[in-house]
Every structure is written in C-alpha cells, then in structure tokens.
C-alpha cells in the first residue's frame, strides 16, 4: 500500500472518512466480494451506500486507482483491476536492454518441488518454522538468449494444487495464476540486488563461464493486505541487459 493505511479503530487513531471508505472497499476486493474485472457501482451509488458525499467516495477511488487496485474509465465505469500477462509484466518486470527499451521474456520451466522452508526463507516470508514451500525453477529468455535463471517459492498452504495447475499450463506471469486460481492479488514487490559470480548451475543454464558476474535479484511480493506471498531469486546476465529503477 503506497498512499493509504487501513483500519480505523477508536478515537486514539482517527481516520478520515475517505480512508475508512478506502478500507471498506479494499476489504471487499480482498475478500472476493468484488471480483477482479467486476464493474463497481458508480460514485453516487457508492456514496449513498457508505452514507458519505460523492466527493469523499471520489477521493477514496482516486487512492485505489493510484494503488492500482481499480481502473477507472471515463464514460464507462470503475472496474476492479485484473492482472493480465502484459499488465503484470509492465508493472513488475524491470529488465531492459542497453537502450532502456522494455523487454518481454519467454519462460521455460523445468523443475517443481515441495520442501520445508529454511530458516532464512521462513524469516523472509514471515512463516512459521518448518512451513512447506512450493518452488518453481525456470529460465527466461529474450529472443532465444537464456538471460535469467530464477527460483520462485510460495507457501504451499496458500496455493493448494498449484503444481497441478502449472503442469497443465506454464504461464508467462505467475501473478495471473495467483489471482485467477487463488484470489491473491499481488500489489507490491520489494527487491534487493547484489552482484554474484555464476556458479556451475547458473553457467549451464545461462551459457556463460562459471564466475561470470550476474545480477541477483531477490524479490518478496505481497498482496493487497501486505501479506508476503512469494519469494523469488533471479540471476540475470547483464552482458546485454540491465535492471532499471527510477527514483522520484
């Protein structure tokens, strides 16, 4: 959540009306009462329902839109945001070429397994010791050039049957799967980057000599309630690719 916190309690922690409306609406989205893609009531209907003015509803809607939980289209209506492969890539994929042009990867998965989380993993995801993780390993390529070797780990309890789904279709974007099959909408990712030397496994998958410097991106992705849902470690060649970040 970028702009608005949630939860209103007693007089000790006053929340403006629009923040309370915001919280009520995120709850409906998070609970599935409003499904991704659904059309919301218009501003006046919402205002009547929440017993506030249309301007107050508008302020909550603007915040929801800023946090990408809804999409507003003039003359059309307000919709719950839905992850599509393009949208998720545009929002979360930060690898560009040397000119800064956005790239679109092709993914090839080749391993899935379940295992107990290590201490570091439980800590990163805020899980209980010994929780089960499901992990997917894959290689992402740009025009046949294997560029990224990555492992994606999710708490098994959050996504029962994930392996069955992935055996049927291996998607370009995991976040579409999370949302469509498990009602989990990723809204935030925190990444830390380091430079590492390619080990034997990296070298084999990315076709570089062992010891080649690689960009290691560690991501923790969270849903709209701030719950940590996914741990992902990506190792990326930077011979012709870059990680792009903007600070504003």
Which spans of this chain sit near its own copies (rule: CB under 8 A)? 2, 67-68, 91-92, 94, 96, 100, 187-197, 211, 213-216, 236, 238, 242-248
Of the residues 16, 129, 211, 213, which one makes contact with DNA according to CB under 7 A: 16
Q: Closest CB to its own copies among 67 and 179?
A: 67
Applying CB under 7 A, the span of 68-76, 97-105, 116-124, 161-169 interacting with DNA comes to 68-76
What length does the chain have?
A: 248
Q: Which does 14 bind (CB under 5 to 8 A by kind): its own copies, DNA, none?
A: DNA
User: Nearest 10 degrees: CA dihedral of 85, 89, 92, 95?
Assistant: 150
Which residues 48-67 are close enough to bind DNA by CB under 7 A?
52-56, 58-59, 61
- Interaction between residue 75 and DNA (CB under 7 A): yes
What SS3 class is residue 95?
Answer: strand
Cα–chain center distance at 181: 15
Q: How far apart are CA 69 and CA 185, in angstroms?
A: 9
Q: How far apart are CA 30 and CA 24, in angstroms?
A: 10
Q: Which does 234 bind (CB under 5 to 8 A by kind): its own copies, DNA, none?
A: none
Q: Closest CB to DNA among 14 and 144?
A: 14
Q: Are 52 and 21 in contact (CB under 8 A)?
A: yes
Of the residues 25, 26, 34, 43, which one makes contact with DNA according to CB under 7 A: 43
Q: Closest CB to DNA among 5 and 160?
A: 5
Q: How far apart are CA 92 and CA 234, in angstroms?
A: 13
Q: Closest CB to its own copies among 67 and 122?
A: 67
| Binding interface with DNA (CB under 7 A) | 14, 16-19, 40, 42-44, 52-56, 58-59, 61, 72-78
């Amino acid at each position: 959540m970028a702009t608005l916190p949630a939860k209103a309690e007693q007089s000790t922690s006053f929340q403006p009306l629009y923040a309370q409306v915001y919280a009520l609406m995120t709850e409906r989205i998070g609970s599935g009462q409003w499904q991704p893609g659904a059309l919301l009531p218009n501003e006046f209907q919402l205002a009547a329902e929440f017993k506030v003015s249309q301007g107050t509803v508008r302020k909550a809607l603007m915040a929801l839109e800023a946090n990408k939980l809804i999409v507003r289209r003039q003359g059309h209506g307000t919709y719950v945001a839905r992850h599509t492969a393009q949208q998720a890539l545009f929002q979360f994929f930060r690898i560009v070429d040397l000119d800064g042009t956005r790239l679109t990867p092709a993914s090839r998965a080749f391993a899935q397994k379940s295992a107990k989380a290590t201490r570091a993993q439980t800590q990163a995801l805020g899980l209980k010791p010994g929780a089960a993780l499901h992990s997917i390993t894959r290689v992402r390529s740009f025009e046949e050039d294997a560029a990224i070797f990555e492992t994606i780990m999710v708490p098994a309890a959050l996504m029962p049957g994930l392996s069955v789904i992935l055996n049927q279709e291996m998607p370009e974007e995991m976040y579409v799967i999370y949302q469509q099959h498990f009602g989990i909408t990723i809204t935030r990712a925190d990444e830390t980057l380091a430079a590492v030397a390619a080990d034997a496994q990296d070298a084999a998958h990315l076709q570089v000599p062992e010891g080649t410097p690689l960009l290691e991106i560690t991501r923790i992705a969270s849903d709209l309630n701030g719950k940590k849902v996914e741990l992902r470690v990506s190792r990326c060649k930077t011979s012709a690719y870059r990680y792009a970040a903007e600070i504003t």
